[in-house]
Amino acid sequence: MAAQNLRIPGPVPMPDAVRAALANQMINHRGSEFKLLLSDVRARLAGIFATQNEILCFTSSGTGGLEAATVNLFSPGDRALMVTGGVFGDRAITIAQTFGIQVTKLEHSWGTAASPAALRDALRANPDIKLVYLTHNETSTGVTNPISKLTQVIHEESAALILVDSVSGLGALPFETDAWGIDVVVTGSQKAFGCPPGMSMISVSPKAWDAVARSKMPRFYWDFQRMREAHSEGSTPYTPAVTVFFGLSAALELMDQEGNEARFARHVRAGDLVRHGVLDMGLGLFADPPYNSNIVTAITLPEGISPQTVREELRARYNTVIAGGLGKLKDSVVRIGHVGFFTQEDLTKTLEQLDTVVKRLKR
Ligand SMILES: *Cc1c(COP(=O)(O)O)cnc(C)c1O
């Protein structure tokens, strides 16, 4: 299969060092090699999360991590305030409701960011909530929420637990788990980490561990306590995605070499480059400034040009793959991912191709 020019917001192209690591022969997942691998990966991850909290590694996509957080933190009937402005916020709400959580939704319109003032009002109106849920980077709309401002309001108004979905943000966008006082953060292997899908990494604060101990939700595979005990012995309760660990170890090495600040700056430059390119070619940005995401750009097209056609043309002419819209944005936007390991040329090439395709379709 010819390598695609894959420009979606995850999974993303893997660096050579990650691809090489994935070719390693299998090892005993209960042996000393895996023990070392797990402790190395968890220690490096703590640096990316900016936390002293424990990191758990589950074999699953990001959604599994969010379900894991749900079944470990709540008991049926508990109340949550869940902030949403897109497909992924809505999905987290659906997960919670599936498990009998009473959800108060705080919605902001798609393309805008969550408002700290609206959050303050909602917290005052709902003093008995157990947890507040936030989406760091709403990948469906191309919005990055102001997490530090939102968590500051939560700390001022409430003692609720804070759960953040940073599946697409962590590792690419500034994020401070401990400084911002976030109890549980969920991320995944296939976005900023440039690895295959298959692992969800979750940080759990001491306050969250207290909630886990009290939670009465039935759970088995997702049980945090079981995972913590196994991790403390350098293992996992069930067979882990050993190969994804190989890849993640190589990716974290590259991420450490580049450094957090340089990596964040590279994503800022990518966001600027793509947004300017989009506006220069006469297309529109779906998300409102200044909260445009630096890892994905949702692009609106001229009247009469369909996202599906643009994507098909890019694929047919250049083997370039960009993402379509999700949910109600299916027929109105295309999205270019700029997360993980990419070069500026990868993005300028994709923008030039998009420009050519749109101009041809306009004629
Ligand atoms: C990708 C993503 C997820 C998880 O998706 P999976 O396909 O389950 O890995 C969750 N939230 C956000 C914001 C995402 O971008």
Predicted pLDDT at 12: 98
* CA–CA gap between residue 275 and residue 329 (Å, rounded): 19
Q: What is the mean pLDDT of residues 50-65?
A: 98
Predicted pLDDT at 232: 97
The full DSSP string for 318-350 is H-EEEEE--GGGTTTEEEEE--SS--HHHHHHH
166 in contact with ligand 1, CB cutoff 6 A = no
63 in contact with ligand 1, CB cutoff 6 A = yes
Centroid of ligand 1 to alpha carbon of 183 (angstroms)? 19
Centroid of ligand 1 to alpha carbon of 362 (angstroms)? 33
3-state secondary structure of 56: strand
Ligand 1 atom showing the smallest separation from residue 191 Cα: 1
pLDDT at 168 over 80: yes
* CA–CA gap between residue 191 and residue 188 (Å, rounded): 7
49 in contact with ligand 1, CB cutoff 6 A = no
Residue 363 binned pLDDT confidence (cut-offs 50, 70, 90): confident
126 in contact with ligand 1, CB cutoff 6 A = no
What's the whole-number average pLDDT of the chain? 97
Centroid of ligand 1 to alpha carbon of 88 (angstroms)? 7
Predicted pLDDT at 68: 98
- Out of 93, 139, 145, 202, give the residue to mutate to test ligand 1, the one with the largest number of ligand atoms within 8 Å of its CB: 139
Predicted pLDDT at 199: 98
pLDDT at 250 over 90: yes
* CA–CA gap between residue 197 and residue 318 (Å, rounded): 25
Residue nearest to atom 6 of ligand 1 (CA): 62
Residue 37 in tokens: 């691998």
Contacts of 118 (CB under 8 A, 6+ apart): 106, 108
Characterize the bridge pairing of strands 79-84 and 54-59. Answer: unpaired
Centroid of ligand 1 to alpha carbon of 48 (angstroms)? 18
Centroid of ligand 1 to alpha carbon of 207 (angstroms)? 25
pLDDT tens digit sequence for 182-207: 999 999 999 999 999 999 999 999 99
Predicted pLDDT at 1: 75
Contact between 83 and 135 under an 8 Å Cβ cutoff? The reply is yes
Contacts of 359 (CB under 8 A, 6+ apart): none
**Type of residue found at 286:** F
Report the percentage of the chain scoring pLDDT > 90: 98
Q: What is the mean pLDDT of residues 70-99?
A: 98
pLDDT tens digit sequence for 94-123: 999 999 999 999 999 999 999 999 999 999
pLDDT tens digit sequence for 282-299: 999 999 999 999 999 999
pLDDT tens digit sequence for 15-54: 999 999 999 999 999 999 999 999 999 999 999 999 999 9
Considering the entire predicted model, what is its pTM?
0.98
Centroid of ligand 1 to alpha carbon of 216 (angstroms)? 26
pLDDT at 2 over 90: no
pLDDT tens digit sequence for 129-164: 999 999 999 999 999 999 999 999 999 999 999 999
Centroid of ligand 1 to alpha carbon of 202 (angstroms)? 13
